[in-house]
A and B are shown apart, each in its own frame.
Chain A
Amino acid sequence: MTREPRLFAVLGFQSTHDALDAETLLGDLGIDVVPIPAPKTIGSHCGIALRIELADEERSAAYLDTAGITVAARARIEDV
């Protein structure tokens, strides 16, 4: 029996500063945010990327855009 891989959204940023600002802002919204090593698929924009639930991806990106934080890349990853 195989387990269905669980997918998450990943947001990449231009700098650690932006990633940590985004972590704070999304956390304040009640979004579950986990800092992770930036996956190769988003390019090495920043050593840190943020993993969030797929269901939170669009509203997170929209909120960060409104807050002036550039989401430099997006990707999907499987849980580890």
Chain B
Amino acid sequence: MLPRPASPEPLPTIYLDHGATSWPKPPEVVAAVSQALTEYGGNPGRGAYRMAIATSRLIHESRRDVAAFLGVSDAHNLLFSPSCTEALNLVLRGLLKPGDRVVACSMEHNAVARPLFDLSQLGIEVVLVDADSTGTIIAEEVETAVNAAPTRAVVCQHASNLTGTIQPIADLADIAHAAGALMLVDGAQAGGHLSVNLASLGADAWACSGHKGLLGPQGVGVLHLASDCNPTPLVTGGTGGGSSADETAPLVRPDRYEAGTPNTPGIAGLGAAVRFLATHAEQLRAEERRLVRRLHEGILDLPGFSVLGPDPSVPRVPIVSIVHDSIDVDRLAFALDKRWGIATRAGLHCAPWAHRTVGTLDAGALRLGIGYANTTDDIDVALVALATLAQEGS
């Protein structure tokens, strides 16, 4: 039995919002954050007194361990950022220039959609390829779009934060590279939940949240850049290394993309989280798959509900988004929290493109995200609660 920290009083929370952020964190993560705050107070990469060097080592070890967990052979190319969103902004704004053409997928989160909109105002052509009704991107349609005109990059999520759909990234990378384009991936919902090997995936840039499936604290994102993928830095400033007298950002990684004092407690926590995952990931993923299927099939048995995305037999990340034919999703979310202590997420999930694609832009959906500490009881309570609400609402 994996350790499960106690829920706060007074109402026990059944936490089903792992698509937004994971909770609770493994005790090792909490301990690492606390230790970083109490023992590793030096500014990493700057001073060379013993505490600062120890802090630098802490970040160095976290970088090495995150890289190893994601199949990155050269940890220089594994970068920390304040968030997945900022990492994606770095990639998109740092690579795409006026006159470029980019092919993007219609399931993208606003972390991609909004930067692309900004870039479209600067003369970058954004071509959207629609996913099918399950939220799945069809590789052949991306290939057609890429080959229609010279294309700088293909952008696609690794997995949907709405439908849980897993996208065919390796196939898309082959298509992009055959056309001389870059493959840029939003891996926010994939890290931790899927076995990710960046050495073989084919992405030139892959960004991920540290606090979702990777189980780290909020405030840390991860970005892997292939060694020949060199976006212009989004932020420049002090790095500790490089010549302090030189006004240009250092060329060497990771310093080039990590200006400013890093989030040491967050990075320490993320390092502890991936060490936890390195030991438990297979067990956790098997349990997530079992619980997702139990929830998905259980909801399909309830009157009035339907589930977005692929059938239960198709693998997905542990997200199950639902709609009811007569009860608004905000009412469902409020009642679940107030009466059963069940935390879910209603609305558009910062993904209006995805909702438009699957037909829920007007009504939104209720998202239930499963994570490492959830139990069969959690799922069964949620099913009873939804059944009760459906009965009351009909």
Task: Judge: A and B partners, yes or no.
Answer: yes
Chain A interface (Cβ < 8 Å from any Cβ of B): 13-18, 20-21, 35-38, 43-49
B231-255: contact bitstring with A at CB < 8 Å (1 yes, 0 no)?
0000000001111110000101111
Determine if A17 and B63 form an interchain contact, defined as CB atoms under 8 angstroms apart. Answer: yes
Determine if B252 and A47 form an interchain contact, defined as CB atoms under 8 angstroms apart. Answer: no
Chain A residues closer than 8 Å to B243, beta-carbon distance: 43-45
Q: A46-B240, A47-B240 are in contact. Are A14 and B250 (CB under 8 A)?
A: yes
Determine if B255 and A15 form an interchain contact, defined as CB atoms under 8 angstroms apart. Answer: yes
In the assembled complex, B48 has its CB within 8 A of some CB on chain A: yes
Chain B residues closer than 8 Å to A13, beta-carbon distance: 241
- Taken together as a complex, chains A and B put the C-alpha atoms of A48 and B56 apart, in Å, by 10
Which residue of B49, B75, B240 contacts A16 across the interface (Cβ within 8 Å)?
B240
Determine if A16 and B47 form an interchain contact, defined as CB atoms under 8 angstroms apart. Answer: no
Determine if A47 and B46 form an interchain contact, defined as CB atoms under 8 angstroms apart. Answer: yes
- Taken together as a complex, chains A and B put the C-alpha atoms of A47 and B49 apart, in Å, by 10
In the assembled complex, B369 has its CB within 8 A of some CB on chain A: no
Q: Can you name 7 extra interface pairs (CB under 8 A) apart from A16-B240, A20-B60? A: A16-B255, A17-B76, A35-B53, A37-B47, A44-B242, A46-B45, A48-B48
Q: A37-B48, A46-B241 are in contact. Are A17 and B60 (CB under 8 A)?
A: yes
Closest to B53 in A: A35
- Taken together as a complex, chains A and B put the C-alpha atoms of A43 and B243 apart, in Å, by 7
Which residue of A37, A43, A47, A49 contacts B45 across the interface (Cβ within 8 Å)?
A47
- Taken together as a complex, chains A and B put the C-alpha atoms of A15 and B44 apart, in Å, by 11
Among A17, A18, A45, find the residue whose CB has the most chain B CB atoms closer than 10 A: A17
- Taken together as a complex, chains A and B put the C-alpha atoms of A37 and B241 apart, in Å, by 12
Determine if A47 and B241 form an interchain contact, defined as CB atoms under 8 angstroms apart. Answer: yes
Q: Which of B68-107 contact A (CB under 8 A)?
A: 75-76
Determine if B241 and A14 form an interchain contact, defined as CB atoms under 8 angstroms apart. Answer: yes
Chain B residues closer than 8 Å to A44, beta-carbon distance: 242-245
Determine if B47 and A45 form an interchain contact, defined as CB atoms under 8 angstroms apart. Answer: no
Determine if A15 and B48 form an interchain contact, defined as CB atoms under 8 angstroms apart. Answer: no
Chain A residues closer than 8 Å to B56, beta-carbon distance: 16, 20, 48
In the assembled complex, B57 has its CB within 8 A of some CB on chain A: yes
Chain A residues closer than 8 Å to B253, beta-carbon distance: 15, 17
Determine if A15 and B241 form an interchain contact, defined as CB atoms under 8 angstroms apart. Answer: yes
Chain B residues closer than 8 Å to A43, beta-carbon distance: 243
B109-140: contact bitstring with A at CB < 8 Å (1 yes, 0 no)?
00000000000000000000000000000000
Closest Cβ–Cβ distance, residue A33 to chain B (whole Å): 11
Chain B residues closer than 8 Å to A16, beta-carbon distance: 44-45, 56, 60, 240-241, 255
